[in-house]
């Protein structure tokens, strides 16, 4: 019940395209859903996060879509750039301050 | 954004020695910090939750006598790998919890530990 399932495991997108990564959860007590971006050899960086009181949050080229009834949330990267090539992790927890449950990660490659 | 640092960024040590890794929140106070371990091409595995002024809470299967955690101040938590062995070689990452308008975790850059 604590798992967060993430797909796809890897993704190749052409420059300028839209990258979409999906996550699903079981624990209905989760109320905080962040996305992290990680480059090789670096720590994860908080990209964007959403709470279940809204269905969508946009920050620049990054958008989170949240479907509470389906217990799913997704990250959309618009106008994908080679510099976006990284591993992306979705996560969830309760209350924001508790330990995060991470997805398995998606390795994104944006090709020219 | 919030900045979390780790020191050292990489360390090589001999089997049997102990290694200390520091995690600092540079521009905010963090009563709670977390320590993770990450293997190549895998997700982050939470090792323990570090609370300032109290004992750390370890995840199931993590040896607390091997991975000593001390959260001595609101900006510093340390992880000491005692009697390190090659199987302890990994990428160790800390995060600090910032409780501003929202509770958000910010990660350090990680420490690569290699035990020979």
CB within 8 Å: A95 and B103: yes
Which token pair is B33?
């910090």
pLDDT in tens, B95-112: 999 987 678 899 999 999
Q: Does the CB of B106 have a partner CB in chain A at under 8 Å? A: yes
CB within 8 Å: A41 and B110: yes
CB-based burial label for A107 (10 Å; 0-12, 13-18, 19+): middle
SS3 B42: coil
Helices marked H in chain B: none
pLDDT (mean) for B15-42: 95
Q: Which residues contact B57 (CB under 8 A, 6 or more apart)?
A: B48, B49, B51
Determine the Cα–Cα distance for residues A35 and A26; give it in Å rounded to an integer.
Answer: 17
CA distance A8 to chain B (A): 14
What pLDDT, on a 0 to 100 scale, did the predictor assign at position A96? 61
Is residue B36 within 8 A of residue B93, CB to CB? The reply is yes
What pLDDT, on a 0 to 100 scale, did the predictor assign at position B116? 96
Closest residue in chain B to residue A41, using alpha carbons only: B110
Q: Does the CB of A42 have a partner CB in chain B at under 8 Å? A: yes
Is residue A98 within 8 A of residue A92, CB to CB? The reply is no
pLDDT (mean) for B61-86: 95
Percent share of chain B, pLDDT over 70? 99
CB-based burial label for B63 (10 Å; 0-12, 13-18, 19+): exposed
Determine the Cα–Cα distance for residues B108 and B116; give it in Å rounded to an integer.
Answer: 25
pLDDT (mean) for B86-95: 97
CB-CB: which of A41, A51, A100 is closest to B105?
A100
What pLDDT, on a 0 to 100 scale, did the predictor assign at position B30? 93
Q: Residue B93: its chain A contacts at CB < 8 A?
A: 43-44
> What is the interface size between A and B, counted as CB pairs within 8 Å?
55
Closest residue in chain B to residue A107, using alpha carbons only: B41
CB within 8 Å: A100 and B99: no
Query: How is the beta sheet containing B19-25 ordered, strand by strand?
Result: B4-7, B19-25, B76-81, B67-73
Closest residue in chain A to residue B1, using alpha carbons only: A46
SS3 B3: coil
pLDDT (mean) for B78-97: 96
Task: Check pLDDT > 90 for residue B15.
Answer: yes
CA atoms within 13 A on the CB side of B5: 8
Determine the Cα–Cα distance for residues B45 and A50; give it in Å rounded to an integer.
Answer: 22
* pLDDT, one tens digit for every residue, chain A (112 residues): 569 999 999 999 999 999 999 999 999 999 999 999 999 999 999 999 999 899 999 999 999 999 999 999 999 999 999 999 999 999 999 876 678 999 999 999 999 9
């Amino acid at each position: 019940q604590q798992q967060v399932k993430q797909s796809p495991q890897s993704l190749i997108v052409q420059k300028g395209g839209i990258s979409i990564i999906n996550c699903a959860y079981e624990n209905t007590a989760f109320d905080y859903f962040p996305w992290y971006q990680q480059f090789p050899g670096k720590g994860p960086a908080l990209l964007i996060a959403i709470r279940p009181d809204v269905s969508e949050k946009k920050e620049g080229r990054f958008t989170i879509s949240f479907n509470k009834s389906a217990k799913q949330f997704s990250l959309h990267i618009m106008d994908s750039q080679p510099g976006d090539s990284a591993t992306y992790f979705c996560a969830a927890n309760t209350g924001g301050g508790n330990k995060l449950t991470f997805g398995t990660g998606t390795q994104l490659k944006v090709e020219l | 954004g919030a900045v979390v640092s780790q020191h050292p960024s990489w360390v090589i040590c001999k089997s049997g020695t102990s290694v200390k890794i520091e995690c600092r929140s540079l521009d905010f106070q963090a009563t709670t910090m977390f320590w993770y371990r990450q293997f190549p091409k895998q997700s982050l595995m939470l090792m323990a939750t570090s609370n300032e002024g109290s004992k750390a809470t370890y995840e199931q299967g993590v040896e607390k006598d091997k991975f000593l955690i001390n959260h001595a101040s609101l900006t510093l938590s340390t992880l000491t790998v005692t009697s390190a062995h090659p199987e302890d070689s990994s990428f160790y990452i800390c995060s600090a919890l910032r409780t501003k308008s929202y509770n958000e975790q910010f990660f350090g850059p990680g420490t690569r530990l290699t035990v020979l």
